[in-house]
Amino acid sequence: MRSTNHSVTVIGLGPMGRAMASTFLDRGYDVTLWNRTPSRADALVARGARLATNVEEALTANELVLLSLTDYAAMYDVLEPAATALTGRVLVNLTSDTPEQARTAARWAVERGAVQLTGGITVPPSGIGQAASSTFYSGPREVFDRHRAALEVVTGRTDYRGEDPGTAALFYQMGMVVFWTSMLSYWQAIALAHANGLTAADILPHAVETANSLPGFFAFYAERIDAGHHLGDVDRLAMAMASVEHVLHTNADAGVDTTLPAAVTELVRRGMDAGHTADSFSTLAELMKKPAA
């Protein structure tokens, strides 16, 4: 087993794992790789990385092992058959999944003599190795501190969120809630644009301007929501109802899919039915704390 200082194993060579391995090579690390489809390692091997012939060899090569797989089910597929080689390993699990999966996997690792640090990378492959990029981490503090230099190769900033291995996954998933719904709302606007003879490029400045206005709304409502205030002083749910119905009907009139605007309208409708007509639409944050009846 090599020293942890400038030596690392990367298991999983999708776009993220390849970007990580490439960055470690750039920084002069010894890099050992394993991937189910070995050919994905070709360009990295040409640059000096070593492709392990099996998972055991990849695990025993280094104390520090980065995992970048599709989900935790893939992690068990890969590591379970090689579990005896896990003893003494630090698994930096940069695979995204649920907080519960992260907690279960951390226990699973400990039972096999390894330790897991959960990671949630907040950038796409192009952000790997960048000084401004950031990753959430949680798990044993001592392990995080000891390997911090290598973690800062992956993203220049690290955001340690405590000992609970689920917390990094939770923060990652909260970001994903905003990301996926926002991106789908953008696809919806593009569908509407196309149906009206406009291109995505035509509406880009307006879409960006709208997106750039959101942080101000986030900050304004965060304080009020934490204080439990949903006063209808600057907006009222009845106004939101009229507006989201306009959105729904504009999309229906254009003949495009209405799944997303219909779901938004349904949530606002539930707030109206619960008697919040004169409250702020932030009252929906309370409604969304429970599953729909």
Least CB distance to ligand NAP at residue 128 (A) = 9
**Residue nearest ligand NAP (C-beta atom):** 14
Long-range Cβ contact pairs of 50-59 (< 8 A, separation 24 or more)? 52/9, 54/82, 55/11, 55/79, 55/81, 55/82, 55/85, 56/82, 56/84, 56/85, 57/32, 58/9, 58/11, 58/32, 58/33, 58/34, 59/9, 59/85, 59/86, 59/89
Q: Does 32 bind ligand NAP (CB under 6 A)?
A: no
CB-wise, 102 or 284, nearer to ligand NAP? 102
Q: Does 15 bind ligand NAP (CB under 6 A)?
A: yes
Q: Does 121 bind ligand NAP (CB under 6 A)?
A: yes
Judge whether 130 and 123 are in contact, CB under 8 Å.
yes
Count CB atoms within 10 A of the CB of residue 83: 18
Q: Does 31 bind ligand NAP (CB under 6 A)?
A: no
Least CB distance to ligand NAP at residue 113 (A) = 22
Q: Which stretch binds ligand NAP (CB under 6 A): 80-88, 121-129, 136-144, 248-256?
A: 121-129
Question: What is the footprint of ligand NAP within residues 94-113 (CB under 6 A)?
Answer: 94-96
Q: Does 168 bind ligand NAP (CB under 6 A)?
A: no
Q: Does 175 bind ligand NAP (CB under 6 A)?
A: no
Count CB atoms within 10 A of the CB of residue 219: 9
Q: Does 117 bind ligand NAP (CB under 6 A)?
A: no
Residue 162, C-beta contacts closer than 8 angstroms, at least 6 positions apart: 138
> CA 205 to CA 212: how far, in whole Å?
10
Q: Does 167 bind ligand NAP (CB under 6 A)?
A: no
CB-wise, 14 or 156, nearer to ligand NAP? 14
Which tokens go with 3?
Answer: 């020293």
Q: Using the rule CB under 6 A, which residue among 3, 53, 70, 181 binds ligand NAP?
A: 70
Q: Is 143 exposed, middle or buried (0-12, 13-18, 19+ CB in 10 A)?
A: middle
Q: Does 126 bind ligand NAP (CB under 6 A)?
A: no
The size of the interface with ligand NAP (CB under 6 A), counted in residues, is 22
Binding positions for ligand NAP, rule: CB under 6 A: 12-17, 35-37, 40, 68-70, 74, 77-78, 94-96, 121, 124-125
